[in-house]
């Protein structure tokens, strides 16, 4: 029989006093009760059979319906685990390990039913000293311990939300189940809950961005607990599972005047959560009909529907542009702030911020949702607007949702090309002088130079070990691959920064794999290649691309290139991109306005023509790691040669 661990006793709350001073007292679940306990110092330790030790500590807050625990320092020893369980040892959370540790040490648990919880820290033999410091608990005065069917549960506000609500398991919501999976509820330490929406971004990489209302934000977001799939499994029911949770989030963007925050969860939802990343529409087009998913009064998820076009309104306090809707089914109640408003295409067009009803006023009182289009670019910096996080290129108007549990279409591109600057006609290979000198950057250089990536590209990085490869697979430089619309060669659909090897193969950032384009189906596309100081090339006709790649050799004359033989320079029997487009304007000029010779002189200082600049520079036309204006292997002569030796000549690229 285990001895009773030490207990931190908190007296019953004076509910009249608490409710009198509590913000949103009619909808919140409880209140935070703060204290400071070093659990590993105050708890009771005992040795475990077979080695290691266990420390236990109990917290009791009299008359609480349920409790959650917050930590000001959570730094468990390697191999240690922390469990939290209720008084009857029937429900537990954990084990929490170093995987749950945050740099700031903050942490929190989900709710467990009852007025007492016990913390159990299991430490392996010879473990380093850990740190577990309790900062307080959330004492929930609402939260029935049993539902109507007698099942244990965490969230039930002591009364059900209004009877005119519809559970998300009902037939009316059958077509909206992916959107249901994108809606989350989060609980703050102060006992308030709000809704949020897991959003897709143009990378479609599962980055866990959650859109919430700004008036739900507090600086203790490291201790928020996000609940996934808190919903009744049946059309009639008031109990949902509460074990699928993620603790903690970081604010990425926010604006008081837009009443929004974009949060990033501390980790992506595990596959077992079956989460969905909702699509969105920033066009500002009037939604003709749609739906909303929310947790009114912290109840299980409910389904709202509107069947008439939304109208424009403004939020009362911030005057933020909103969509105003009248519900044909369901209502908005407290704690639903931040719930997503979807349009008829099942894309997010707003989030709820005001406008509650009763069942009697459901059709006569409207609800307002901040317009997604308004907050897309409302602020002046990435910290005050959505676009930088959801679509860095800012060229996507509407994006469908992303389901990480369903196979995502993708293309693999296996291509080959040569750059004239480092090409060696004798071997048919390219030199790797930039790499030999340690000059190739670990992050692709195109975004920083002003090139606008499309469809999820940009920001690619390479590991130093990949650059260390030798022989014909040694890396020469970064290039950009572009997929263009088969019906409009001027429209760039998607881009990826990739690596170019000495043998001409363009690879993904591992130096061997085909370049992957996620989210793009098998089809025909124009394929283009760009380099930072060479003229780009593009196939003359669309080529077929699919998940399994076939080599497209752009150095051998097949397929044909736009511009024909003029598109590339002859390197022995092979063809290469023309060098010398130093200023990146799509032409090579030796003299005149926007010529490519003068930047070379500027790079070396502009005064001494025999000076030399060593480094990674676009003025390094021959890509030998140095910029020279005169002398052997200078970078000025190739420009003159490529315009035919005519100082006023121009060589134009062929990319539309």
Q: Mean pLDDT over residues 186-198, rounded?
A: 94
Contact call for residues 526 and 542 (beta carbons, < 8 A): yes
Give the bridge partners for 589, in sequence order: 650
Contact call for residues 411 and 520 (beta carbons, < 8 A): yes
Q: Which of the four pLDDT bands, split at 50, 70 and 90, describes residue 469? A: very high
Clarify whether residues 213 and 332 are in a common domain: yes
The lowest-confidence range among 16-30, 246-260, 497-511, 573-587 is 16-30
Inform me whether the pLDDT recorded for 145 exceeds 50: no
Give me the percent of the chain exceeding a pLDDT of 70: 95
Q: Rounded to two decimals, what is the model's pTM?
A: 0.64
Inform me whether the pLDDT recorded for 407 exceeds 80: no
Residue 632, token pair as written in the block: 């052997």
Clarify whether residues 186 and 250 are in a common domain: yes
Output b/e per residue, 32-67; b: 16+ Cβ within 10 A. Answer: bbeeebebbeebeeeeeeeeeebbbbbbbbeebbbb
pLDDT, averaged across the chain: 92
Residue 404 placed within a domain: no
Residue 521 placed within a domain: yes
Contact call for residues 309 and 293 (beta carbons, < 8 A): no
Output b/e per residue, 582-608; b: 16+ Cβ within 10 A. Answer: bbbeebbbbbeeebbbbbbbebbeeee
CA distance 286 to 344: 10
Please, what is the Cα angle at 529 between 527 and 532, to 5 degrees? 160
| pLDDT higher at 160 or 580 | 580
CA distance 2 to 24: 42
Question: At which residue do the structure tokens 């380099």 appear?
Answer: 531
Chosen domain end from 399, 425, 452: 399
DSSP letters spanning 175-233: GGHHHHHHEEEEE-TTS-EEEEEEE--TT-S---EEEE-GGG--TTGGG-EEESS-S-S
Question: At which residue do the structure tokens 């519809």 appear?
Answer: 166
Inform me whether the pLDDT recorded for 248 exceeds 50: yes
Secondary structure of residue 360 in the 3-state scheme: helix
Clarify whether residues 504 and 646 are in a common domain: no
Inform me whether the pLDDT recorded for 135 exceeds 60: yes
Give the bridge partners for 481, in sequence order: 496, 529
Clarify whether residues 213 and 272 are in a common domain: yes
Contact call for residues 615 and 623 (beta carbons, < 8 A): no
Q: Mean pLDDT over residues 393-401, rounded?
A: 89
Residue 649, token pair as written in the block: 């000549």
CA distance 264 to 386: 12
> Which of 320, 332, 544, 532 lies closest to 422, judged by CA?
532
Residue 486 placed within a domain: yes
CA distance 150 to 159: 15
Residues in the chain: 656
Residue 582 placed within a domain: no
Clarify whether residues 234 and 362 are in a common domain: yes
Count the Cβ atoms, other than its own, within 10 Å of residue 74: 25
| Phi, psi of 582, rounded to the nearest 5 degrees | -65, -40
Q: Which of the four pLDDT bands, split at 50, 70 and 90, describes residue 154? A: very low
Question: Looking at residue 392, what is its pLDDT?
Answer: 87
CA distance 392 to 386: 9
> Which of 15, 284, 254, 290 lies closest to 139, judged by CA?
15
Contact call for residues 166 and 173 (beta carbons, < 8 A): yes
Clarify whether residues 514 and 551 are in a common domain: yes
Q: Which of the four pLDDT bands, split at 50, 70 and 90, describes residue 157? A: very low
Residue 431, token pair as written in the block: 């030199």
Residue 386 placed within a domain: yes
Radius of gyration of the chain (CA): 31
Contact call for residues 285 and 345 (beta carbons, < 8 A): no
Contact call for residues 571 and 425 (beta carbons, < 8 A): yes
Chosen domain end from 526, 556, 577: 577
Clarify whether residues 88 and 221 are in a common domain: no
In the chain, the number of structural domains is 4
Question: Looking at residue 25, what is its pLDDT?
Answer: 59
Inform me whether the pLDDT recorded for 177 exceeds 80: yes
Q: Give the DSSP letter of residue 299.
A: P
Residue 163 placed within a domain: no
> Which of 222, 576, 271 lies closest to 407, judged by CA?
271
Contact call for residues 249 and 262 (beta carbons, < 8 A): no
Q: Residue 114: left (phi > 0), alpha (psi -120 to 50), or beta?
A: left
Inform me whether the pLDDT recorded for 390 exceeds 80: yes
CA distance 364 to 345: 25
Question: Looking at residue 151, what is its pLDDT?
Answer: 38
Question: At which residue do the structure tokens 């800012």 appear?
Answer: 394
| pLDDT higher at 229 or 27 | 229
Burial class (CB in 10 A: 0-12, 13-18, 19+), 185: buried
Contact call for residues 332 and 361 (beta carbons, < 8 A): no
Clarify whether residues 383 and 505 are in a common domain: no
Q: Mean pLDDT over residues 44-73, rounded?
A: 93
Inform me whether the pLDDT recorded for 150 exceeds 70: no
Contact call for residues 199 and 211 (beta carbons, < 8 A): yes
Chosen domain end from 546, 577, 608: 577
Contact call for residues 298 and 193 (beta carbons, < 8 A): yes
Residue 423 placed within a domain: yes
DSSP letters spanning 374-395: HHHS-SSSGGG-SHHHH-TT--
* Domain that residue 604 falls in: 587-652
Give me the CATH number covering residue 74: 2.60.120.290
Inform me whether the pLDDT recorded for 633 exceeds 70: yes
Clarify whether residues 392 and 451 are in a common domain: no
Q: Which of the four pLDDT bands, split at 50, 70 and 90, describes residue 147? A: very low
Question: Looking at residue 130, what is its pLDDT?
Answer: 94
Residue 445, token pair as written in the block: 């250089």
Beta-sheet pairing, 279-281 with 347-354: parallel
Inform me whether the pLDDT recorded for 218 exceeds 60: yes
CA distance 27 to 246: 23
The lowest-confidence range among 150-154, 216-220, 303-307, 453-457 is 150-154
Question: Looking at residue 1, what is its pLDDT?
Answer: 56
Question: Looking at residue 628, what is its pLDDT?
Answer: 97
Inform me whether the pLDDT recorded for 19 exceeds 80: no
pLDDT tens for each residue of 534-548? 999 999 999 999 999
Clarify whether residues 264 and 333 are in a common domain: yes
Count the Cβ atoms, other than its own, within 10 Å of residue 417: 26
pLDDT tens for each residue of 301-349? 999 999 999 999 998 888 899 999 999 999 999 999 999 999 999 999 9
CA distance 113 to 146: 9
Indicate if the alpha-carbon torsion angle 344, 350, 351, 357 is positive or negative. negative
Within a 13 Å sphere around the CA of 222, how many CA atoms are in the beta-carbon half?
14
Clarify whether residues 326 and 435 are in a common domain: no
> Which of 6, 70, 11, 3 lies closest to 36, judged by CA?
70
Clarify whether residues 330 and 246 are in a common domain: yes
Residue 269 placed within a domain: yes
């Amino acid at each position: 029989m285990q001895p009773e661990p030490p207990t931190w006793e908190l007296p019953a709350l004076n509910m009249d006093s608490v409710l009198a001073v509590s913000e949103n007292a009619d909808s919140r679940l409880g209140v935070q009760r703060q204290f400071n306990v070093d659990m590993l110092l105050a708890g009771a330790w005992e040795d475990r059979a077979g080695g290691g030790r266990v420390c236990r500590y109990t917290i009791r807050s009299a008359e609480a319906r349920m409790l959650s625990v917050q930590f000001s320092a959570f730094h468990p020893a390697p191999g240690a685990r922390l469990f939290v369980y209720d008084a009857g040892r029937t429900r537990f959370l954990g084990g929490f390990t170093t995987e749950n540790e945050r740099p700031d040490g903050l942490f929190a648990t989900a709710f467990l039913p009852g007025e007492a919880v016990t913390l159990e820290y299991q430490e392996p033999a010879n473990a380093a000293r850990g740190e577990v410091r309790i900062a307080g608990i959330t004492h929930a005065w609402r939260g029935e311990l049993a539902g109507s069917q007698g099942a244990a549960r965490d969230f039930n506000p002591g009364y059900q939300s209004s009877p005119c609500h519809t559970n998300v398991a009902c037939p009316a919501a059958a077509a909206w189940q992916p959107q249901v999976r994108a809606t989350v509820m989060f609980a703050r330490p102060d006992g308030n809950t709000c809704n949020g929406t897991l959003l897709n971004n143009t990378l479609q990489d599962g980055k866990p961005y959650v859109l919430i209302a700004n008036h739900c934000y507090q600086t203790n977001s490291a201790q928020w607990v996000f609940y996934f799939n808190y919903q009744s499994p049946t059309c009639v029911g008031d109990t949902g599972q509460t074990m699928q949770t993620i603790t903690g989030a970081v604010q990425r963007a926010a604006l008081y005047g837009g009443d929004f925050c974009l949060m990033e969860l501390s980790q992506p939802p595990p596959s077992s959560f079956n989460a969905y990343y909702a699509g969105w529409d920033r066009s500002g087009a009037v939604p003709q009909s749609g739906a909303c998913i929310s947790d009114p009064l912290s109840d299980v998820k409910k389904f709202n529907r509107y069947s008439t076009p939304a109208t424009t309104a403004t939020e009362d306090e911030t005057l933020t542009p909103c969509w105003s809707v009248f519900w044909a089914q369901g209502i908005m109640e407290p704690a639903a702030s931040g719930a997503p408003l979807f349009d008829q295409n099942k894309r997010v067009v707003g989030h709820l911020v005001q406008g509650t009803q009763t069942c009697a006023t459901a059709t006569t009182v409207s609800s307002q949702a901040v317009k997604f289009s308004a907050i897309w670019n409302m602020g002046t910096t990435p910290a005050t607007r959505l676009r930088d996080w959801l679509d860095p290129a800012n060229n996507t108007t509407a994006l469908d949702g992303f389901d990480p549990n369903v196979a995502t279409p993708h293309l693999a591109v296996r291509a080959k090309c040569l750059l004239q600057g480092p090409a060696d006609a004798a071997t048919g290979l390219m030199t790797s002088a930039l790499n030999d000198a340690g000059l190739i950057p670990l992050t692709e250089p195109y975004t920083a130079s002003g090139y606008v990536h499309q469809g999820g590209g940009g920001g690619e990085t390479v590991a130093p070990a990949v650059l260390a490869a030798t022989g014909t697979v040694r890396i020469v430089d970064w290039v950009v691959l572009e997929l263009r619309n088969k019906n409009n060669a001027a429209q760039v659909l998607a881009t990826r920064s990739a690596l170019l090897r000495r043998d001409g193969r363009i690879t993904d950032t591992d130096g061997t794999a085909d370049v992957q384009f996620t989210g793009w189906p098998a089809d025909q596309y124009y394929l283009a290649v760009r380099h930072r100081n060479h003229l780009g090339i593009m196939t003359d006709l669309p080529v077929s691309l699919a998940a399994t790649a076939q080599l497209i050799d752009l150095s051998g004359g097949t397929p044909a290139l736009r511009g024909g033989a003029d598109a590339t320079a002859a390197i022995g029997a092979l063809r290469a991109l023309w060098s010398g487009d130093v200023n990146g304007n799509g032409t090579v000029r030796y003299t005149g306005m926007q010529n490519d010779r003068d930047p070379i002189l500027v790079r070396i200082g502009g005064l001494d023509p025999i000076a030399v600049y060593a480094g990674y520079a676009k003025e390094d036309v021959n890509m030998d790691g140095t910029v020279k204006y005169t002398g052997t292997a200078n970078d000025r002569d190739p420009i003159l040669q490529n315009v035919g030796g005519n100082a006023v000549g121009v060589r134009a690229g062929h990319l539309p």
